[in-house]
Amino acid sequence: MEQSSAALPSGPVVHLRGAVALLGRFPALAGVDLDIDARRIVLLRGANGAGKTTLLRTLAGLVPVAGGDAVVLGVDLVADPRPVRHRVGLLGHATGLYDELTVGDNVRFWGRAAGADPADVEQALIRLGLDGRLRSVAVGRLSAGQRRRTSLACLIARRPELWLLDEPHAGLDQEGRDLVDALVREAVSAGATVVLSSHELDRSLQLADSVITIAGGAVRPEPIIVPDPADGGAP
Amino acid sequence: MIRDALLIAGKDLRLELRSRVALNQVLPFALLVLVLFAFALDPDKSVLTEATPGLYWIAVLFSALLALQRSFAIEATDGNRDALRLSGLDPAGIFLGKVLAVSVQLIVLEALLGVGVVVLYTSRIDGWVLLAVTSVIATASIAAAGTLYGVLAAGLRVRETLLPLLLLPVLAPVLIGSTRAFEAALNGSPSEGWPWVGLMSIFASLYVVAGIFGFGPLLEES
């Protein structure tokens, strides 16, 4: 599945310098410096409330940047974050689905909203195993894992250039987690860049090729330490 | 913009078809309002007949509040508003789509309420053209103003109570205009009703233009 190639930036996909984002008056990001090159899988780690979700939402153009520089996919977020939004795919804690609509309706609606081909929508349903009976089931009747799969189908139907995944393995069974990892690798092979936050470090460290830690609204890079399965997967 | 509007309208109407909130809650509420007016004014049948246009449009306005609140409640759950902002849909298209979906629901409701008025108030219906045009223009006015104020109230904790407080005073000209136009139609003097339709057309146009330009910034703030 190829990613949308519209205006791929020649520089880093993400470039933040002293980026500040406020939630009310609280500086949820307090001077973040970060560069992410294209086709990378970056793991974002940190304690609860450290600012992982805010960073992902900022990169998606949903949280205004109050200070510093912030350029994502060549779009200056300080000037106007809206042009970047349709080029990113954000999988957050909320699913963004309509409970009364069926799985097929939801994926079709969000796919069409992003200008996706009907073939891409169909492919997304098939890839997530939602093309059978589940297609015509109302989302409100799904399990948490099935809702997560539906959200993922909406995301891949959009073919985003930058994937922002907030706890993508949460609520999924083993097969679903493996599928997420496979989708991430496929997306990167096709040209996308992925930033993900996860508390499942053993799995995520196998997937990522770089790690950054966020604490107190600031980030610092870390050398990646791939866990040794012989040690029980502990990093 | 038109493509986005049709996409949003289709989605909202499909949601209504599946959930049947308007059918199961808004329509019975509107009919109940009509019945209560009939009970209150029944001893004096002439007053009831005379007040029919005003009572009808008050019932429509109250029902419209429910439909408008529902239109934004479906975007308030499970991150749907963020998903809309990320979708790349034109905010003006989202506005027009929501106006279209609310208008379709209100037109159906008004038709069914019209039957209720004939049955309960034994009113005679005349001036069909004026009645139909008044309904369409008044509905567009209510939906456009309501959608604009709906997104304004959407991000606030007190949205359920704030929307009626904001919207009902704003819609007073529509209530007056539609009532006068209906009176003119039912009294057999439609020429007296058309100026009111013109007034409501200006109102609807102003709010559609305001919504096309103002909905995006308000969606960002909500």
| Predicted pLDDT at A7 | 47
| Domain limits for position B78 | 2-221
User: How many domains, in total, are found in chain A?
Assistant: 1
Q: Is A83 exposed, middle or buried (0-12, 13-18, 19+ CB in 10 A)?
A: middle
pLDDT tens for each residue of B79-94: 888 888 888 899 999 9
- CB count, 10 Å around CB of B44? 11
The two tokens of residue A23 are: 């939630």
How much is the pLDDT for A16?
Answer: 87
Looking at the domain assignment, is residue A30 inside a domain?
Answer: no
Q: Does a structural domain hold residue A215?
A: yes
pLDDT at A221: 61
pLDDT of residue B123: 64
Give the pLDDT confidence score for residue A233 in this predicted structure: 44
Cβ of B82 within 8 Å of Cβ of A109? The answer is no
Residue contact A101–B15, C-beta within 8 A? yes
pLDDT of amino acid A29: 80
pLDDT at A60: 93
Measured in degrees and rounded to the nearest 5, phi and psi for residue A210 equal -155, 155
How sure is the predictor about B26, in pLDDT bands with cuts at 50, 70 and 90?
confident
Mutate to test the interface with B, among A109, A139, A147 (most CBs of B within 10 A): A109
Residues A18 and A68: their CA atoms lie apart, in Å, by 5
Cβ-in-10-Å burial (0-12, 13-18, 19+) of B208 comes to buried
Q: Is residue A10 part of a domain?
A: no
For residue A6, the model assigns a pLDDT of: 46
Q: Quote the minimal CA–CA distance from A163 to chain B in Å.
A: 12
- Interchain CB distance below 8 Å, B86 and A112: no
SS3 assignment, position A208: coil
CA–centroid distance for A151 within its chain:
11
Whole-model pTM: value is: 0.85
For B156, other C-beta atoms within 10 Å of its C-beta total: 12
Nearest to A94 among B7, B18, B79 (CB): B79
Of A90, A99, A115, the CB nearest to B86: A90
| Under 8 Å between Cβ of A193 and A162 | yes
Of A62, A85, A94, the CB nearest to B78: A94
CB A106 within 8 A of CB A150: yes
Residues of A in Cβ contact (< 8 Å) with B18 = 100-101, 138
So what's the pLDDT on residue B158? 65
Distance from B156 to chain A by nearest Cα, in Å? Answer: 14
Please indicate whether, in this complex, the C-beta atoms of B89 and A113 are within 8 angstroms of each other.
yes
| pLDDT at site A235 | 42
Give the mean pLDDT per block of 10 residues along chain A (235 residues). 49 86 80 87 86 90 88 90 91 88 93 89 90 89 90 92 90 86 91 88 84 82 53 46
pLDDT for the residue numbered B108: 92
Q: Which residue has the higher pLDDT, B176 or A172?
A: B176
Instruction: Give me chain B's average pLDDT, please.
Output: 87
Integer-rounded Cα radius of gyration of chain A: 17
pLDDT of residue A227: 52
* Number of domains within chain B: 1
Q: What would the mean pLDDT of B164-193 be, rounded to a whole number?
A: 89
Residues in A whose CB is inside 8 Å of some CB of B read 57, 60-62, 85-86, 88, 90, 92-101, 105, 109-110, 112-115, 138
Using one digit for the tens of pLDDT, what is the confidence trace for B95-153?
999 999 999 999 999 998 888 888 777 666 778 889 999 999 999 999 999 999 988 88
Lowest mean pLDDT among A80-84, B38-42, B58-62: B38-42
CATH number of the domain bearing residue A124: 3.40.50.300
Please give the residue that has the higher pLDDT: either A6 or B163. Answer: B163
What was the pLDDT predicted at B73?
85
Q: How far is CA A199 from CA A44, A49, A52, A202, in A?
A: 9, 13, 11, 9
CB half-sphere exposure, A159, CA atoms < 13 A: 20
ipTM: 0.80
* Residue A185 structural domain: 37-62+73-224
Do A109 and B77 lie within an 8 Å CB cutoff? Answer: no
